[in-house]
Amino acid sequence: MTIHKEGYKTLTFTALGCLVFSSIFWFFIGKNDLLTQIAFGFSGFIFLVILQFFRHPTRHTVINPHHVIAPADGKVVVIERTREEEYFKDERIQISIFMSPFNVHVNRHSVSGIVKYFQYHPGKFLVAWHPKSSTENERTTMVVENTLGTPVLMRQIAGALAKRIKWYVKNGDRAIQGNEYGFIKFGSRVDIFLPLDAEVKVKMNDTPIGGETIIAVLK
């Protein structure tokens, strides 16, 4: 378990803020006062909450060209047949995974292959489970054509709190199943769009593990 690089600056400012907050109580109320002890306890709690958000656990991916691996930790909130308008412009199976502030927020490649399309879209910050968040929120869209020649679309979506989408890919890059391709801060969602003949292996409210759980099988 390590700390993600995106957390270094946030954790530094959080630690300084907690230190200043606690020091005010220490100097003006007294180190042995109950309020000072509560202030130190509260500061420690806040720092630990932020720290756990940026954890970056090691995941072990079994690479298989037929498997679609969960791109993130979280809860499955959408499994439906829908029309994807940005790239495919036809009907696909959509699987959406919602990441709460307590989930690991590393985003991983669901399939191995070549990045055929990547686009960043500025937008709104609706709550991540809102039906329109997939098309109106700040987001990125990436299409990876796997080694079988099957394109899979993954979309990072910012939520009401998640206003920092990070990505580490561009068109033409080689994607390796299970490897990190991005990060979203403080609550968000990832959508995956699959061919209609894909066999879905998860159900609503399941809690897949990013980089390990098989969420679908491609024909």
Residue pLDDT, tens place only, 148-188: 999 999 999 986 655 578 899 999 999 999 999 999 876 68
Check whether residue 50 and residue 102 sit in a common domain: no
Nearest to 195 by CA among 122, 90, 112: 90
Domain-terminating residue out of 29, 56, 83: 56
Check whether residue 84 and residue 20 sit in a common domain: no
Check whether residue 29 and residue 108 sit in a common domain: no
**Distance in angstroms (rounded) separating the CA atoms of residues 34 and 42:** 12
Residue 95's domain comprises: 67-217
Find how far residue 88's CA is from the centre of its chain.
23
Check whether residue 122 and residue 39 sit in a common domain: no
> If you count DSSP H runs as helices and E runs as strands, how many of each does the chain have, helices first?
3, 15
- Give the pLDDT confidence of 64-87 residue by residue, as tens digits: 999 999 999 999 999 999 999 999
Which one from 22, 96, 133, 188 is the annotated catalytic residue?
188
Q: How many domains does the chain have?
A: 2
Is 110 annotated in the active site? no
Residue-level pLDDT at 128: 54
Check whether residue 84 and residue 157 sit in a common domain: yes
Nearest to 195 by CA among 150, 147, 149: 150
Which residues of the chain fall below pLDDT 70? 1, 123-136, 159-163, 186-187
- The most distant pair of C-alpha atoms in the chain lies apart, rounded to whole Å, by 68
Check whether residue 82 and residue 128 sit in a common domain: yes
Strand partners, 83: 91
Check whether residue 32 and residue 101 sit in a common domain: no
**Distance in angstroms (rounded) separating the CA atoms of residues 207 and 137:** 23
Check whether residue 81 and residue 122 sit in a common domain: yes
Report yes or no on whether pTM surpasses 0.85.
Answer: no
Check whether residue 79 and residue 116 sit in a common domain: yes
Check whether residue 83 and residue 166 sit in a common domain: yes
Residue-level pLDDT at 171: 95
Residue-level pLDDT at 81: 97
What's the length of the chain?
219
Residue-level pLDDT at 161: 59
Where in 4-138 does DSSP place strands (E)? Answer: 55-56, 67-69, 75-84, 90-99, 106-108, 113-121
Check whether residue 152 and residue 130 sit in a common domain: yes
